[in-house]
Amino acid sequence: MKLENYASGKWISGDGEGQALFNAITGEQITTASSKGLDFAEMMNYARKVGGPALRKLTFQERGLMLKALAMHLQSKKELFYTVSWATGATRTDSWVDIEGGIGNLFTYASLRRQFPNETFCLDGDIAKLSKNGTFIGHHICVPKEGVAIHINAFNFPVWGMLEKIAVNLLAGVPAIVKPATVTSFLTEAVVKEIAASKILPDGALQLICGSANGILDHVESQDIVTFTGSASTGMMLKSHPRLIQEAVPFNMEADSLNCCVLGTDAVPGTPEFDIFIKEVQREMTTKAGQKCTAIRRIIVPEKLVEDVQIALGKRLATTIIGDPNVEGVRMGALAGKSQLKEVAEKVMQLAKTQEIVFGDLEKFEVTGADKNKGAFMSPILFLNKDPFKFQDCHNLEAFGPVSTIMPYKTIADAIELAKMGKGSLVCSIITGDDKIAKEFVIGAACMHGRILVLNADCAKESTGHGSPMPLLTHGGPGRAGGGEEMGGKRGVFHYLQRTAIQGSPTTLTNITNNYQYGSKYILNDIHPFKRYFEELVVGETLITAKHKVTLENIEAFAELSGDKFYAHMDANSLDGTIFTGRVAHGYYILSRAAGLFVDAPKGPVLLNYGVDECRFTKPVYPGAEIGVRFTCKEKIEQEKKSDEDIAKGIVKWLVDVYDETGETVAIATILTMVKKKNQD
């Protein structure tokens, strides 16, 4: 039975025999995959004309809730995915990283909706004042691109590789076509089958190609985005496609890299950091049988500790039981397939020409619960390179399996140089209890790495480890790692949005963005805004408050109440050499008194004060000054009900513009209130 491709809303088996796919543990053929006969142009058109419009109609809040529903659905089906994942050679722990790590990305990006407005678009940055009197301003608006995200993924993470990417483009409002590596695409297909069956995503939001996608780039247009994860050679070939260049299509490349782990000079045997280092390196060598783009390939240690590291790491690797992941005690499964095994073995032989194998053997190793000649098994291989500045194959050749090289350094400067000799990586780590060493290394090495993990006894227990990219942090790296960037929280979402500068009057930009721009015309209402429900409030609606005259008695009373007796408020004789001409009111008194002016005391739709943002005190206020407040509805943020019993409500941002008798602003802040909705359904 063939794998099916999900194209234009239908499950389609490709024509012809297709590519045979095998169980990495038993060597038996599982299925075949073919995309022959698929109309890539039609798939692209379906995504643009059906999926894109449906997603763009949804607000960020609705897209986020969609991701949350999808994550919950896939979480309920995870045991099915674990069963299928076994055939990729993965242990339960390996599969957890792939399956639940991928679902975790969906949850994370679902929660990220709270950082976006309840709109189909968002703003980026602050306004730019473009004229003297503020009647002409600029801002940046970000709208979903009207194309399709094409994700070309690697074989090692058939679930995470897909979910970590589509979580971002779906939140942005862009549909995707996913092309997993065919060798493990049977697991990706199982996940997409559940996604499609759930009907949670709009039609056209997600399509799948299990067979070859050769030719799909011929149909890209300027609004599309292409991402690639895999080998640097394949990535460079795709990146140079004439159509990408002609249409100026963004191409994000995440290539395999020669990541390193550095042991600090302070982390000697007997310290917690030394033990952490050995455990971390062993885990990264054996998780997914070393088939991780973030795996540790270069182990950089102080020259005086090389022997200690070699012995300790060798002992730990010797306890790693290789075999069928379903057998109790097995800690490392197989590589993804025989072709992968052959490729890794060839790289090991190349590396062995310039460095010594100190642990492991390509032929002599035990396999538990399986036939090592039928499955794609191999032993961890540990090299020692005594002169890594002279013998540089370890900085240029990557064996994409459980293979790594120990290399010595004399000084931290040498360690930094060795780390950089990988010519760019996704991640490096340093294990040290000395923050001075950590700082020197991070500042010196950061330019060549996408992520740096600093690990010590303080954070080791809760650390996610060297090899785990995190959804809220960028994943990617310079140079050999591809020069790309994905995830990173909001940063990742912006890769799928078109940022456009907009210019006009504050009132016009307020009406376009539904976000109050300072200087916009006020909307006056006879009803106090705190008497109005969330749905009734209008962005730009303003309350002009009564005035309050500040007195010296007010300043002294606030000083007693707050305990803030800073000299500028209390001692007129200490003001020489300052900007003040007399005793000045506390900024927090001005803000507090402003609240007394704009707050409506009786119980109403406002449930609570949620916080204060962007507070500034812009002009000194002296006794005798009269202050008033222009209190304006700035932005409304939807909140969904957490349960049937929960109160339906939203968050309202208010601009608090405090001014004096001259009309000048003396303090400005944004406060947030939680406001009840009239409709409680």
610's tokens: 């949620």
Residue limits of CATH 3.10.129.10 in the chain: 522-676
Query: Letter for the amino acid at 486?
Result: E
Query: According to the model, what pLDDT value does residue 83 have?
Result: 92
Q: How far is CA 612 from CA 124, 578, 586, 598, in A?
A: 20, 28, 17, 15
Domain spanning 5-252+491-498, CATH architecture: 3-Layer(aba) Sandwich (3.40)
Look at residue 191 in the predicted model and tell me its pLDDT: 95
429 close to 454: Cβ distance less than 8 angstroms: yes
CB 159, CB 56: distance < 8 Å = no
Residue 186 identity (one-letter amino acid): F
Q: How far is CA 182 from the centre of its chain?
A: 26
The answer for residues whose C-beta is within 8 angstroms of residue 317's C-beta and 6 or more apart is 282, 285, 286, 359, 360, 380, 382
Q: Which of 429, 452, 404 is nearest to 285 (CA)?
A: 404
648's CB contacts (< 8 A; 6+ apart) are: 641, 676, 677, 679, 680, 681
CB 47 within 8 A of CB 175: yes
Between CA 183 and CA 189 the distance in angstroms is 12
Residues of the chain within CATH 3.40.605.10 domain(s) are 5-252+491-498
DSSP-based three-state secondary structure for 497 = strand
H/E segment holding residue 171: helix 160-172
List all residues 6 or more positions away from 563 whose beta carbon is below 8 Å from its beta carbon: none
- Indicate the helix (H) or strand (E) that contains 218: none
Torsion angles phi and psi, residue 259, rounded to 5: -70, 155
Other CB atoms within 10 A of residue 564 CB? 14
Q: Tell me the residue type at 514.
A: N
Question: Regarding beta strands 428-431 and 259-263, do their DSSP bridges make them parallel or antiparallel, or are they unpaired?
Answer: parallel
Return all residues near 391 (Cβ < 8 A) that are at least 6 apart.
Answer: 354, 355, 385
Quote the tokens at residue 335. 């590589």
Superfamily name and number for 259-480: Aldehyde Dehydrogenase; Chain A, domain 2 (3.40.309.10)
Q: Tell me what pLDDT residue 177 has.
A: 96
Place of tokens 């540990």: 382
Contacts of 266 (CB under 8 A, 6+ apart): 273, 432, 433, 434, 437
Q: Which residues of the chain are under the pLDDT cut of 50?
A: none
Residue-level pLDDT at 236: 85
Q: What is the pLDDT of residue 385?
A: 96
- Cα(191)–Cα(208) distance, rounded to whole angstroms? 11
For the chain, the 3-state helix, strand and coil shares in percent, each to the nearest 5, are: 35, 25, 40
Q: How far apart are CA 247 and CA 526, in angstroms?
A: 54
CA angle, residues 349, 260, 323, in degrees to nearest 5:
55
Please list the residues that pair with 22 across neighbouring strands: 29
* Nearest alpha-carbon partner for 34 in 52, 22, 19, 53: 19
**CATH 3.10.20.30 is right for the domain spanning 522-676:** no
Query: Would you say 171 and 40 are in contact if contact means Cβ atoms under 8 Å apart?
Result: no
Q: Is 388 exposed, middle or buried (0-12, 13-18, 19+ CB in 10 A)?
A: buried
Q: pTM for this one?
A: 0.88
Answer for the pair 450, 281: CB distance below 8 angstroms, yes or no: no
Quick one: angle between helices 552-562 and 587-598, nearest 10?
Answer: 100
Active site residues: 254, 293
CB half-sphere exposure, 61, CA atoms < 13 A: 11
Find the Cα–Cα–Cα–Cα dihedral 618, 622, 626, 630, rounded to 10°. 20
Q: Are 189 and 4 in contact (CB under 8 A)?
A: yes
CA-CA distance, 374 to 508, in Å (whole number)?
69
For the chain, helix (H) and strand (E) counts, in that order, are 19, 29
DSSP 48: I
Span(s) in the chain for CATH 3.40.309.10: 259-480
d(C-alpha 256, C-alpha 427), whole Å: 11
pLDDT of residue 306: 94
CA proximity to 607, closest of 542, 677, 670: 677
| pLDDT given for residue 431 in this prediction | 96
**How crowded is residue 672: how many other Cβ atoms within 10 Å of its Cβ?**
18
Select from 479, 401, 35 the least CA-distant residue to 235.
479
Q: Among all chains, which residue has been given the structure tokens 């090389």?
A: 306
Q: Which amino acid is at 610?
A: Y
pLDDT of residue 644: 81
Q: Specify the pLDDT at position 467.
A: 82
As a three-state string, the secondary structure of 406-446 is EEEECCHHHHHHHHHCCCCECCEEEECCCHHHHHHHHHHHH
